[in-house]
Structure 1
């Protein structure tokens, strides 16, 4: 069965809210976009293995990783949505800008690539149960990530 227009819009909005709440440091609202367990895969950037995390664990990790930046902006575009009754996949291109004043290097690190969101319909609406970020390019000062985390 094809995704309805209403579900398509709700799915795209759920994925967009993930980026929006992270950039605005709205941690409680960020947790609300996720299902009870989420497969998180940022291995294209960090190596390691994907992990299954609770929303509170994601918020804790992202607070540490993103909260130390002066500003971030995660843009999602070109959403492609597929699926059926209670499950969906949304893929989107992204560009993520990270800014931190750094007297010894560039104050910006910009990353681009794709996200794959696996979603499930719950009683509260569509929730993300899987996030796979695939970085395909970057520019600027990647050292800002470690510096922001240390703040």
Structure 2
């Protein structure tokens, strides 16, 4: 029993050290439900966007949000109404344009009892049939890999996203599909 306890204690100490090195706090009984909710929200945002359920997507954000998608579109980080973020997504992903988002390796750091930051790896693609046309480049797919960072704040309605950054690490495919709103 002593060996098992010592091995378990050692494993927990290593896990804590590794967690600190790669980002994120160790999972505890006190934070387990909050962590699960934050991961659910981030995944649900992706699912709502892919389903083009803009009301559902909007429900996961505070009224204003700090956004930084400069690695994809240039410009400067900004604080904008969440409604404007959703309006932009819905305009770009309209009609024939489909999307698929996937994320993993969620790492959560608590910045106090009512604030947290979640970092995760992300993959997304946009597909648009009109991209296949020769005049549009002849390719109907654009895809991107990168890192998401979501800021969370606890509100009276539960955890909500108040900041979102995407840092692209690689992308390939049709710039036409990336840049052209669906019709």
Sort the TM-score into its range (normalised by shorter chain).
over 0.9
Does residue 21 in structure 1 map to residue 48 in structure 2?
yes
Does residue 42 in structure 1 map to residue 69 in structure 2?
yes
- Pick aligned residue for 1:70 from 94, 97, 112: 97
**Greater mean deviation of Cα atoms: 59-68 or 34-43:** 59-68
- Pick aligned residue for 2:83 from 56, 80, 87: 56
- Pick aligned residue for 1:95 from 123, 126, 135: 123
Runs of 4+, deviation exceeding 4 Å:
none
1:112 is displaced (CA, Å) by 0.5
- Pick aligned residue for 1:111 from 144, 147, 156: 144
Q: What is the SS of the residue equivalent to 1:35?
A: strand
1:69 is displaced (CA, Å) by 4.5
Quick one: distance in 1 between partners of 2:64 and 2:81? Answer: 5
TM-score by length of 1: 0.93
Q: What is the SS of the residue equivalent to 1:134?
A: strand
Show the counterpart of 1:32. Answer: 59
Kindly indicate which of the two structures has a greater share of residues assigned to strand: 1
Q: Which has the larger radius of gyration?
A: 2
Q: What is the SS of the residue equivalent to 1:20?
A: helix
User: Does the CA-based 8 Å contact 2:118-2:151 persist in structure 1?
Assistant: yes
Instruction: Structure 1: state its 5+ residue gaps.
Output: none
Q: Give the paired residue count.
A: 150
Quick one: distance in 2 between partners of 1:115 and 1:64? Answer: 21
User: Does the CA-based 8 Å contact 1:69-1:98 persist in structure 2?
Assistant: no
User: Does the CA-based 8 Å contact 1:76-1:92 persist in structure 2?
Assistant: yes
TM-score by length of 2: 0.77
